Chains A and B, each alone.
Chain A
Amino acid sequence: GAVVSQHPSRVICKSGTSVKIECRSLDFQATTMFWYRQFPKQSLMLMATSNEGSKATYEQGVEKDKFLINHASLTLSTLTVTSAHPEDSSFYICSARDRDRFYGYTFGSGTRLTVV
């Protein structure tokens, strides 16, 4: 089945530094990938939609200059949290849809970001 690999699974960084999270579709092509964030005891919230070869579409309230998304190929999207602050500490997860499947988005395993 479709597999999405997300790295790293956990990262601890100092306040003010940047962190890059990678999301790869391993056995299918994903023209679109999605980035979600989940705070403790909250829902998964869509942050942005990443489109291969074009600019990402950000949800309202999500700072595009802070959360840089690059979708350079059909199998790779990256999310960079720039100048991270403790309030950015969260669980970040990506998903992608196999073009050959109408429904059912395959999720990565998520990245637990802790900013100290």
Chain B
Amino acid sequence: DQQVKQNSPSLSVQEGRISILNCDYTNSMFDYFLWYKKYPAEGPTFLISISSIKDKNEDGRFTVFLNKSAKHLSLHIVPSQPGDSAVYFCAASLDGGSQGNLIFGKGTKLSVKP
């Protein structure tokens, strides 16, 4: 049973618009969430994270929202740029992210069209 789910395998957005990537989880004990971006033939790159004690974290064009009651988090990218086209992974941790045992979703492929 998958504990971290990214139900949309792909998403297409026009340049300049907002991209919203969603992630659902089943384990209420998760206390730290991370988003990674992955280009083809490269390893995932850390993007942004959020602790379970917060409901929002913002870093430039990227904002992550956490809704603990719904066990849902989302990554907002605004404005979207063609260079944002990549696969985005949502990951969750049970130990504040300190031990590296990250549980990943399957990823969502974002395509930003010029």
Contact = CB atoms under 8 A, between A and B. Distances in A.
A4 B44 CA distance: 11
B24 to A, nearest CB: 13
* Size class of the contact patch on chain B: 20 to 34
A67 interface: no
Given A104-B49, A109-B42, A46 B102 contact: yes
A43 B106 contact: yes
Contacts, number: 65
A110 B46 contact: no
A44 B97 CA distance: 16
A37 B101 CA distance: 13
A93 B106 CA distance: 15
Contacts of A106: 43, 46
Nearest to A59: B101
B32 A95 contact: no
B41 A107 contact: no
Interface of A: 4, 6, 9, 32, 34, 36, 41-46, 49, 93, 95, 97, 102-110
